[in-house]
Amino acid sequence: MNKKNTLSNPDTNGYYGQFGGAYIPEMLYPNVEELRKNYLKIISSPRFKKESDTLLRDYAGRPTPLYFAQNLSKQFGTNIYLKREDLCHTGAHKINNTIGQILVAIHLKKNRIIAETGAGQHGVATATVCALKGLECIVYMGEKDIERQAPNVARMKMLGATVVPATSGSKTLKDATNEAIRDWINNPTDTHYIIGSVVGPHPYPDMVARFQSVISSEIKNQLHKQAGIKWPTHVIACVGGGSNAAGTFYHFINEKKVKLIAVEAAGCGINTGKSAATTQLGTQGILHGSKSLVMQTKDGQVIEPHSISAGLDYPGIGPLHANLFSSKRASFLSATDNEALAAAFHLAKKEGIIPALESAHALAALSKVKFKKNDHVVVCLSGRGDKDMDTYMKYL
Ligand SMILES: *Cc1c(COP(=O)(O)O)cnc(C)c1O
């Protein structure tokens, strides 16, 4: 294990620079410690690698294509590639992580899986792999989100998961997280808690980044094979908690000539009070068990974020990204709701691909950066737009 912290991996205590760590109630310590002690050993074992490679290939549909977007390239006067995570089983990158964590849970002899979900995408990816592996699956979800995200609730139920409403507080994601943590404290021996992004106490951010790093590992091979080049000049991804961005950046972080561009949701605009651009609005604080940048009031109350895309509607950012931001290794841009909508409609018309609203934020950044003719720009298309058709229909 590396003791020194680097930009891509934390030190032994889970710190990326000054961000990360494990700020958890004492009663949770044995569970997190069991995971911390074992995760690297498990994921580097030949048995795990074989199981995970097979599932990623035959079940999730990897490698996902790296598509040279000829019409966008012509328009922007450069070479633009789309990493097609939208073609993964269940429609987004989230399955890369749930496959990894469920296999870790099985190696740790856990037969009960819990998760929290906001928009329901992580809940669906978790319920999917639990069905495949015959594990009990309990998903905590805010009562308000259950109403707002009915199709995903139906999917989880059809996949055999139990969806438990969180009825306290604002009845949204953070209340669901509290319920999941309470469950884990009460069921320390048979249960694994699957976190859906590069957030949470150490070792979650590092473990999830490693599971998503398959994205940049494939990009590297595919660029080499398809275009004969070793490094892209730019990689671009949207950031909610930051898992698809972590996966897209991972194998490029220590290669300084590759520009990393993270795109946050500006919502109605950064200074409107209805935004989710954490690096622009956040200050150092503790959220979901790690020290990072958090949108909060002066006395530490979390500010409700806003984004048109449910997956970016999060008041924090993973510690890996907080460190990429404060060390200036990555540039953090933002796109408003309207810019994301315009980018989604543009991609649909130009390339025949309907992106998820989250991914549309990454696409919106294309018009905010100056590219040269010989640049090779990779945009992570984190998910497909089927789930967002209700929103898109309002603007047709
Ligand atoms: C959940 C989700 C995101 C945001 O999560 P990250 O952890 O930041 O990747 C982005 N895109 C899609 C399609 C999602 O479902």
Ligand 1 contacts CB of residue 383 (under 6 A):
yes
Ligand 1 contacts CB of residue 335 (under 6 A):
no
Average pLDDT, the chain: 96
Tokens read off for 85: 């995570």
Which pTM value belongs to this model?
A: 0.98
Q: Which atom of ligand 1 is nearest to the CA of 359?
A: 11
Ligand 1 contacts CB of residue 244 (under 6 A):
yes
| Contact between residue 349 and residue 357 where contact means Cβ atoms under 8 Å apart | no
Nearest Cα residue to 272 out of 284, 263, 281: 281
Task: Say how far apart CA 22 and CA 143 lie, in whole Å.
Answer: 28
Q: Give 274's DSSP letter.
A: B
Question: Which residue among the candidates 83, 94, 220, 291 is catalytic per the annotation?
Answer: 94
Look at strands 191-194 and 376-381 and give their pairing.
Answer: unpaired
Residue 243 CA to ligand 1 center (angstroms) comes to 7
Residue 83 has a pLDDT of 99
All domains in the chain, ordered by first residue: 15-56+94-208 (3.40.50.1100), 62-92+213-393 (3.40.50.1100)
Question: Which residue among the candidates 8, 110, 116, 216 is catalytic per the annotation?
Answer: 116
CB crowding 315-332: b at 16 or more within 10 Å, else e: bbbbbbbbbbbeeebbbb
In degrees and rounded to multiples of 5, residue 257 shows phi and psi of -80, -10
Residue 276 CA to ligand 1 center (angstroms) comes to 13
Residue 6 has a pLDDT of 83
Mean pLDDT of 58-79: 98
Enclosing H/E stretch for 184? helix 173-186
β partners of residue 16:
19
Residue 314 has a pLDDT of 92
Residue 176 CA to ligand 1 center (angstroms) comes to 18
Listing DSSP states for 38-74 in one string gives HHHHHHTSHHHHHHHHHHHHHTS-PSPPEEE-HHHHH
Give the model's confidence band at 1: pLDDT under 50 very low, under 70 low, under 90 confident, else very high: very low
pLDDT tens digits for range 322-354? 999 999 999 999 999 999 999 999 999 999 999
Ligand 1: which of 83, 312, 313 to mutate, most ligand atoms within 8 Å of CB? 312
Residue 121 CA to ligand 1 center (angstroms) comes to 8
- Write the Ramachandran bin of 381: left for phi over 0, alpha for psi from -120 to 50, otherwise beta: beta
Residue 93 CA to ligand 1 center (angstroms) comes to 7
Give the model's confidence band at 4: pLDDT under 50 very low, under 70 low, under 90 confident, else very high: low
pLDDT tens digits for range 106-149? 999 999 999 999 999 999 999 999 999 999 999 999 999 999 89
Atom 13 (ligand 1): residue with closest C-alpha? 383
| Contact between residue 385 and residue 392 where contact means Cβ atoms under 8 Å apart | yes
| Contact between residue 283 and residue 320 where contact means Cβ atoms under 8 Å apart | no
Ligand 1: which of 195, 236, 243 to mutate, most ligand atoms within 8 Å of CB? 243
β partners of residue 237:
262
| Contact between residue 201 and residue 208 where contact means Cβ atoms under 8 Å apart | no
What is the share, in percent, of the chain residues with pLDDT greater than 70?
99
Q: Which atom of ligand 1 is nearest to the CA of 239?
A: 8
Atom 7 (ligand 1): residue with closest C-alpha? 243
| Contact between residue 307 and residue 337 where contact means Cβ atoms under 8 Å apart | yes
Ligand 1 contacts CB of residue 315 (under 6 A):
no
Tokens read off for 76: 């922007």
Q: Helix crossing, 204-212 with 214-227: angle to 10°? A: 30
Nearest Cα residue to 115 out of 242, 240, 204: 204
Rg, the chain, Cα only: 19
Mean pLDDT of 375-396: 97
Task: Say how far apart CA 114 and CA 188 lie, in whole Å.
Answer: 12
pLDDT tens digits for range 279-315? 999 999 999 999 999 999 999 999 999 999 999 999 9
94 labelled catalytic? yes
Ligand 1: which of 88, 89, 358, 384 to mutate, most ligand atoms within 8 Å of CB? 358
In degrees and rounded to multiples of 5, residue 326 shows phi and psi of -75, -25
Listing DSSP states for 206-255 in one string gives HHHHHHHTHHHHHHHHHHHHHH--SS-SEEEEE-SSSHHHHHHHGGGTT-
Ligand 1 contacts CB of residue 382 (under 6 A):
yes
Ligand 1 contacts CB of residue 356 (under 6 A):
yes
Atom 5 (ligand 1): residue with closest C-alpha? 240
44 labelled catalytic? no
132-135, long-range: CB within 8 Å, 24+ apart, which pairs? 132/59, 133/102, 133/106, 135/102, 135/105, 135/106, 135/111
Residue 3 has a pLDDT of 56
Residue 170 has a pLDDT of 86
Ligand 1 contacts CB of residue 238 (under 6 A):
yes
Atom 2 (ligand 1): residue with closest C-alpha? 311
